Amino acid sequence: MRALNKESQNEQVRTFTALLKARLSKKRFVHSVNVARAAFALAERWGADPQRAYLAGLLHDCCKELPFEEQKALMQQGPFVVSDTEWLCKPVWHGVAAASYMYTELGIEDAEVLSAARWHTVGHANMTKLEEVVYMADLISADRSYRDVERFRKMAQNDLEKAMLAAFEFAIDSVMKKQTPLPVSTVEAYNYYLNRIAARTEDKQKAADRRKNA
């Protein structure tokens, strides 16, 4: 993607913000802006591109309120592969639909931004830093008020990988309670971050043992 200068980036954000304000309910629009701001802050904290994070966060729910048939049509038009279990779970369609809309209708070709929007609901193993910060931003945005949100906000600031693991535990538990299909990529993401944390713990123990035996 051709890099935009700061003025062009700001103009693009203003254009898309106006589009969302007209396109979404007030509640969904406020959430989208809050996610963009949270993604920007997390990107600064963890070394992702803040401008890309803001844009992906801003647009991640741009198709959330469309009828499922329209979401399905966008998913079929776009270039993104959709798994069988995702097709069975309509509440996650809006992530793929958003990325498809961003690509086909808004002319966004930045693969990182598109991918962050596409995976913001279901996740996958070995996510990029930008995907991680947008995923977490959606979970901890200022409008969120569920019971564990403060715990997730603290974790996202202190240890992003542990926050991601906790987020997938939360997501899987929520899906199981609803008894809806669980996308394979979500399970793979949980396993990936579980193994990452275990490997980190093992490395720390080995380092401690070496110091002890030195």
Is residue 78 within 8 A of residue 96, CB to CB? The reply is yes
Residue with the two structure tokens 């992530």 = 95
Q: Name the strand (E) or helix (H) holding 136.
A: helix 129-140
pTM here is 0.92
Task: Give the model's pLDDT for residue 2.
Answer: 42
Q: What is the 3-state secondary structure (H, E, C) of 153-197?
A: HHHHHHCHHHHHHHHHHHHHHHHHHHCCCCCHHHHHHHHHHHHHH
Task: Give the model's pLDDT for residue 95.
Answer: 98
Task: Give the model's pLDDT for residue 100.
Answer: 98
Summarised one tens digit per residue, pLDDT across range 142-195 is: 999 999 999 999 999 999 999 999 999 999 999 999 898 999 999 999 999 999
pLDDT of 5 over the 80 cut:
no
Topology of domain 6-213, per CATH?
A: Hypothetical protein af1432 (1.10.3210)
Average pLDDT across the chain, whole number: 93
Cα separations (Å) of 14 from 17, 81, 90, 121?
Answer: 5, 30, 30, 25
Q: At what angle do helices 93-104 and 111-118 cross, to 10 degrees?
A: 160
